Chain A
């Protein structure tokens, strides 16, 4: 992973000074090991607790940070009143302590120093003034030369929101986050086209009361989306029927009555056959269909020939199983959930696959029903007074205009617009990256590197020396969520609620909160009016007072619930209800897609299959990790510090592979992983696919626990299939083979 101009700096390759020499500007209150020195557990009543919500993943569970008398963060415990966690965090939330304690954290601002006479570039430590002055001068320069629009923001998480405010004030709306085009975008558009509502996060799936949960490639329990996992366990107690469609026996597949080990890339065929059975065996509620849906007759005609027998030859799922599972869903209806999943950019026809899921939910009448999807609601946070943002000449919408249903910025299109040779209308010249490790979140590394090589300036803000920081001109060390204020959390749920994040301790080292960085940059750019506060807590307090609360109250409560104002949680039987679609109905036939020239009902398209000796790359999550973000966390890396390659025993025999043998992977385009990966031989996977957990194979030596551990799946994803409807980057069409002779790679 290196480029020509933008030489990748391993942060360990520091110039004079060296990170190791950096000393903390605040009291550390004991080193990481020091915390563990005493074996006497403290007592909860002796700890000071501070309200926060978790930032180790996007679920944002509210919690209490417990600090002992010496000022050490001892533990983080879920907030009992929080609908996201019900007092129980997941391992990552509990292990959030490790994010604070990680001695590999970014400790002070860094500025790139060009290597002279062929020497490698290095970083030098810088003061905040130097780092921020440099970024501000580049922002001014780019604005004068090309317009502010040419400075893009690529972001994820809570800190991204502060920079979004800065960028909008500065005049750039060229903003994107991998959470859309590299993750859940297709489901929002697929469900949006059907029900007139995005799924959103947390998903409004009424799992706790469902009678039948259908998971298509979604591995709840390995993805620790907290409420989903909690409600899954509750549903298991109530004898829920689980149907899991997955080429791999995921954890949840092992808890399912029906595991359908489908041939990858054929899900739409299975779903069309399910529709066929539900319609032609008349398993639907005729009254519901007539009152609430649009396009039933068209759908009936459309799926006429998609029999289970037709699907068998495509999916390898036996017709009797297809019929039986369809019947189980219908028996449970409307308390049935065909789960939209979350990371759903697979084959490029993903919006259509999500449409198929939505149509099944529509046919079974589960939207707005107990045990199906509840009608979500959130608290509207009052807008803190500030001047209106300027109107940029172009922004994410124009950059993404080839994709009519792209309703958030497409990172991939912003990246493409950053490459001079690409024929794009608008050109991006500089990036600010916050909280997203692009080499692990963006497929097609070569293309990403081309863009990195072309842009004139890159600033990266993170808490850790993630791989992306190696490409930066300036690195800004952010303090962790345990050391800062952020925006109030307001997310859709059954009961609207808000949650506070307040600092439990002072920022460690020379790190700073992102709200502070955004404000200081704003002041340098003459945008003081947008940052009319000394501390972000003033903004929060103002908003809370408008909501009838206060910062003082929220520090005591952590979470506050509000009454619903949008009406009941479910649609009553027979109630007149208008869906926010063109027809006001659940659109089995999508008028929106038809108007845009796309298939109004999903079709099955055969996707390429691996050649002999190659296997389809499937990747997923481990419950104790969030992407690459946690791979170096001292608490969590202990649980799992590398990923392994799941290989079916038949395949292992063919290649004479042994458990824990290290091999390299090579994909269809000849790309070889930077690091080898250990083999795990298991019956839990089909013979035509291999599986690995995403987020490993970090290339930055400064990540002392995770450097070189396991391999990066993202490196193997060079065939990207773009969804023509919303621009998502389909990543499951990559095939890998094994390189057993390690020396052939390493020499």
Chain B
């Protein structure tokens, strides 16, 4: 079992519904977010391209945040999901500095918080909130160890990329391009 997410940049319109749904699902405090949308523009008028990406924790295989955590609060649980055990977190911020994706923030209550792939939903057989609301259905979440899963099929058939591959973290958010 290895959870991952594939996001189709050809379909994403950058509406940010994923961001709002995450906030209401996970009680993310005002002024913070666990996921966000970026836009890259390339080319010169009129030969211009845009890539829209919904970004979040990459749930890396070789996660620097987990490695550098002094208390073990940052950890990898079943399915490869990287989580922060709030009670064990001392809010030192080492993980924030080590993350190549800037995916973490310090919650006003003092611990570090980030995307959990909506572990509480996934364990009940639901999709993460961001995936479940997306109007364009551009996000695919599932088990890449299962060769017949929808996400495995998407990754088999579509051109893809990951962010910051040079960081060598083996990220598990894939962008279909």
Contacts and interface: CB of A to CB of B under 8 A. Distances in A.
Interface of A: 32-33, 35-41, 43-44, 74-78, 85, 88-91, 94-95, 97, 221-222, 224, 226, 229-230, 232-234, 236-237, 249, 251-252, 254-255, 259, 261, 623-624, 634-636, 638-639, 648-649, 682-687
A89 B48 contact: no
A251 B14 CA distance: 8
Interface stretch (B37-45, B55-63, B67-75, B160-168): B37-45
Given A39-B113, A90-B15, A230 B30 contact: no
A97 B21 CA distance: 11
A635 B20 contact: yes
B15 A623 contact: yes
A95 B20 contact: yes
A90 B135 contact: yes
A221 B13 contact: yes
A683 B13 contact: no
Given A39-B107, A683-B41, A224 B15 contact: yes
B24 interface: yes
A77 B25 CA distance: 10
Given A74-B24, A236-B11, A229 B135 contact: yes
A683 B16 contact: no
Contact of A224 (B21, B44, B135): B135
B120 A36 contact: no
A222 B10 contact: no
Interface in B95-132: 107, 109, 113, 118, 120-121, 124, 126, 132
Nearest to A32: B30
A639 B27 contact: no
B8 to A, nearest CB: 8
Contacts of A237: 11
29 contacts: A36-B28, A36-B30, A37-B109, A38-B27, A39-B107, A39-B113, A75-B25, A88-B132, A91-B19, A91-B20, A94-B21, A94-B133, A95-B24, A97-B24, A233-B13, A233-B135, A249-B45, A251-B50, A254-B48, A255-B11, A261-B46, A623-B16, A635-B20, A636-B20, A648-B45, A682-B41, A683-B45, A683-B48, A684-B50
Interface residues of B, number: 45
Contact of A684 (B33, B41, B124): B41
B41 A91 contact: no
Interface string B71-86: 0000000000000001
Interface of B: 10-11, 13-17, 19-21, 23-31, 33, 41, 43-46, 48-50, 52, 86, 107, 109, 113, 118, 120-121, 124, 126, 132-138
Contacts of B41: 682-684
B27 A261 contact: no
Given A75-B25, A88-B135, A254-B48, A39 B109 contact: yes
A252 B19 CA distance: 20
The 5 closest A-B pairs by CB, nearest first: A221-B13, A233-B136, A623-B15, A254-B50, A75-B24
Given A41-B120, A43-B120, A249-B50, A222 B13 contact: yes
Given A91-B16, A91-B19, A41 B46 contact: no
A75 B17 CA distance: 13
A229 B136 contact: yes
B86 A39 contact: yes
Nearest to A682: B41
B141 to A, nearest CB: 15
A506 to B, nearest CB: 21
Nearest to B28: A36
Nearest to B51: A254
Contacts of A639: 16, 19-20
B14 A39 contact: no
Residue from A43, A232, A638, A649 having most chain B Cβ neighbours under 10 A? A638
Contacts of A648: 45
B27 A39 contact: yes
Contacts of A635: 20, 23-24
Given A261-B46, A623-B15, A639-B19, A94 B24 contact: yes
Contacts of B44: 683
Contacts of A89: 17, 133, 135
Contacts of B124: 43
A226 B135 contact: yes
A607 B105 CA distance: 52
Contact of B52 (A78, A232, A251, A638): A251
